[in-house]
Amino acid sequence: MRLNQNTMLLGKKVVLVPYTSEHVPRYHEWMKSEELQRLTASEPLTLEQEYAMQRSWREDADKCTFIVLDAEKWQAQPGATEESCMVGDVNLFLTDLEDPTLGEIEVMIAEPSCRGKGLGTEAVLAMLSYGVTTLGLTKFEAKIGQENEPSIRMFQKLHFEQVAASSVFQEVTLRLTVSESEHQWLLEQTSHVEEKPYRDGSAEPC
């Protein structure tokens, strides 16, 4: 999505930056993991295919992707490359043609050492807020593998409720409808997140 290509979101634990070609090699290494392939229902791609995928995601109007950086590592090491601080990604898919206010959200914390520390939670909150304020979304769905209990629990803590389960796809669907009270709660949870301009590969720590 071109809309977010010049936007970065700066939180306490994570920094969200647009997915650029700089990030592809690290992302490609992550996706060689059979565990991540299973959790994300993904097929392994060649590096060339991964670059093509990154380009298409940048251009497609129905996909909004941010790479998740470890904010502490990124800010503590002036001059550190974004690739060295990458921990995962967070995505919004706007694929329901009948309801443009619905977005499907996904998050992946690919680095095992960074899981269970709240990075995924803050990344999702920042993305939800961005979806509401910038993309005009009012409903979100998350489709999660039934065995991925940590992810299911995280979304439930963020007020998502289970609305469906598929034994065929071995996944559950959780949904959040952003009412006025939910919107207020979301604003409170993300009041510390700053939106700043981003230039490809040249985001500078504060």
If you ran DSSP here, which 8-state letter would residue 151 be given? H
- Write down the H helix ranges in the chain: 24-30, 34-40, 47-59, 71-76, 82-85, 119-133, 149-157, 180-189
The string of pLDDT tens digits covering residues 124-167 is: 999 999 999 999 999 999 999 998 999 999 999 999 999 999 99
175 DSSP β-pair partners:
141, 161
> How far is Cα of residue 187 from the mean position of the Cα atoms in its chain?
18
pLDDT at 200: 58
Structure tokens belonging to residue 7: 């936007």
The string over 94-132, giving b where at least 16 C-beta atoms fall within 10 Å of a residue's C-beta and e elsewhere, is beeeeeebbbbbbbbbbeeebeeeebbbbbbbbbbbbbb
- Angle between helix 119-133 and 180-189 (nearest 10): 130
Would you state the pLDDT for residue 150?
A: 93
pTM (2 d.p.): 0.92
When pLDDT is averaged across residues 69-73 and rounded to a whole number, the result is: 95
Instruction: Share the mean pLDDT of the chain.
Output: 92
pLDDT at 165: 96
Per-residue pLDDT reduced to its tens digit, 11-33: 999 999 999 999 999 999 998 88
pLDDT in tens, 74-124: 998 878 899 999 999 999 999 899 999 999 999 999 999 999 999 999 999
